[in-house]
Amino acid sequence: MLSKSLAQKIVDRMMDIIPYNVNIMDKDGIIIASGDRDRINTLHLGAQEALQGTSAIEVYEEREGVKPGVNMPIMFNKRSIGVVGITGSPKKVRSFGELVKVTTELLIQQEYSIEKYIIKNKLKEEYLYEWIHRKEIYDDEFIDRGKELNIHIEEEGYLLIIDYKKQYSKKIKKIIEIYYNKEVDIISLNSSRICIVLNNNIERNNNLIEDLLEKAKEEVNLMIFLKKSDILSKTFYKGISTVNIAMALGIKKKVIRDEDAIFYSEIEKIVKNKDSKLLLEKIQEGGEELIDTFRVFVSENFERGKVAELLHIHRNTLSYRLSKIEELTGLSFNNSIDIFRLINTYIYYNIYSH
């Protein structure tokens, strides 16, 4: 509660105000901070006496372990946690006594409030992180722990995952905090991605998304907006899978909602197979030039003229490369089933080869 560093800060601040030495003693009467550094870690008998009551003790004569001055118990939550003393003739320093005592107690209360706030935020952060990853059904203990932190996990709501350019992290968070008047919990996933658990007010949530698109359109890469499931981690992992797939495929949409997220989150299961891996390895046998041609050809919807232009090659050269891909894979760009397998290979490449 009364650390040496805090005590010394208080002493230094007090001595900027009054022209006398100030000491602070702990609950055992040991000097832990002083304007006279030689007295630190020594016993102050006057402080021990002051700790017995709640009133100031005045010392008029110097004796062993005590110098003339006024010693006042430091009260916190109706109990003594230390003593603050002013060295000097009681007649001269008495008028400063109440000022020093009240200021000391206020500074300790302020420090305590800050520490309490930091601890609560840390507990909240840890709880939120546990919540988005927890796969088990929520028991009463977990639910009650959330309520103590003003997190009501059983309420309906939405999950918003935002991927953004990391240099704009503060701007994105500020927009959200201003919009919700700091009543929303932001979970930082990394330097360029955050997750927010929102309430069930769909109109307000949609307005937030519109606000972000208006004020930070260039800064935001992608937003995933999903309805919460009973177990939040299901929604969270679905959202993370969606944002990873969409980013890997270069999806130009700024917002993906439930109806589209179902597709994107399932893609990984479809393409993560031996067939896609083997086909990719066969194309890679043709070198980087062939891989690049394959990537651009699929991403540009098989438009040969546009692909040749983007690759700065003649259409005949493009036809040769595509024939080489067909030869290596044993598939044809004119067969719908083969195209499906090749598109899966393209998606596999974008997800796992970068």
329 close to 282: Cβ distance less than 8 angstroms: yes
Q: In the predicted model, is pLDDT for residue 129 greater than 70?
A: yes
Is residue 1 helix, strand or coil? coil
Q: What is the pLDDT of residue 336?
A: 95
228 CB-near residues (< 8 Å, 6+ apart): 156, 157, 158, 159, 197, 235
Mean pLDDT over residues 287-310, rounded? Answer: 95
- Dihedral (Cα; 282, 285, 290, 296), 10-degree rounding: 40
- Label residue 53 by pLDDT band (50, 70, 90): confident
Rounded Cα gap, residues 123 and 185, in angstroms: 12
Domain ranges of the chain: 4-108, 155-261, 272-352
- CA distances, 67 to each of 5, 46, 100 (Å): 24, 8, 18
Q: What is the pLDDT of residue 264?
A: 87
- At 296, which helix (H) or strand (E)? helix 288-299
Q: Which two tokens stand for residue 142?
A: 């977990």
Q: What is the pLDDT of residue 227?
A: 96
Q: Which two tokens stand for residue 20?
A: 């006398």
Q: What angle do CA 302, 305, 311 make, to 5 degrees?
A: 90
86 close to 69: Cβ distance less than 8 angstroms: yes
Q: How crowded is residue 303: how many other Cβ atoms within 10 Å of its Cβ?
A: 12
Q: What angle do CA 253, 258, 259 make, to 5 degrees?
A: 80
Q: What is the DSSP letter of 53?
A: S
- Label residue 65 by pLDDT band (50, 70, 90): low
The b/e string for 133-152 (b: 16+ C-beta within 10 A; e otherwise) is ebeeebeeeeeebbeebebe
Rounded Cα gap, residues 88 and 20, in angstroms: 7
Domain 272-352 has CATH 1.20.58.2050: no
151 close to 185: Cβ distance less than 8 angstroms: yes
Is residue 340 helix, strand or coil? helix
Q: In the predicted model, is pLDDT for residue 354 greater than 70?
A: no
The architecture in CATH of the region 4-108 reads 2-Layer Sandwich (3.30)
Q: In the predicted model, is pLDDT for residue 86 greater than 90?
A: yes
**Mean model confidence pLDDT for the chain:** 91
Q: In this prediction, what percent of the chain has a pLDDT beyond 70?
A: 99
Mean pLDDT over residues 284-291, rounded? Answer: 95
Q: In the predicted model, is pLDDT for residue 135 greater than 90?
A: yes
Q: In the predicted model, is pLDDT for residue 298 greater than 90?
A: yes
Rounded Cα gap, residues 33 and 22, in angstroms: 8
Q: Which two tokens stand for residue 295?
A: 């990537």
Rounded Cα gap, residues 329 and 339, in angstroms: 11
Q: In the predicted model, is pLDDT for residue 67 greater than 90?
A: no
Two domains, one topology: 4-108 and 272-352: no
> Which residue(s) pair with 25 in the sheet?
31, 83
pLDDT (tens digit per residue) in 176-224: 988 887 778 889 998 899 999 999 999 999 999 999 999 999 999 999 9
Domain 155-261 has CATH 3.30.70.120: yes
% helix / strand / coil in the chain, to the nearest 5? 55, 15, 25
Cα 85 from chain centroid (whole Å): 43
Rounded Cα gap, residues 175 and 60, in angstroms: 61
Rounded Cα gap, residues 12 and 313, in angstroms: 75
Q: In the predicted model, is pLDDT for residue 273 greater than 90?
A: no
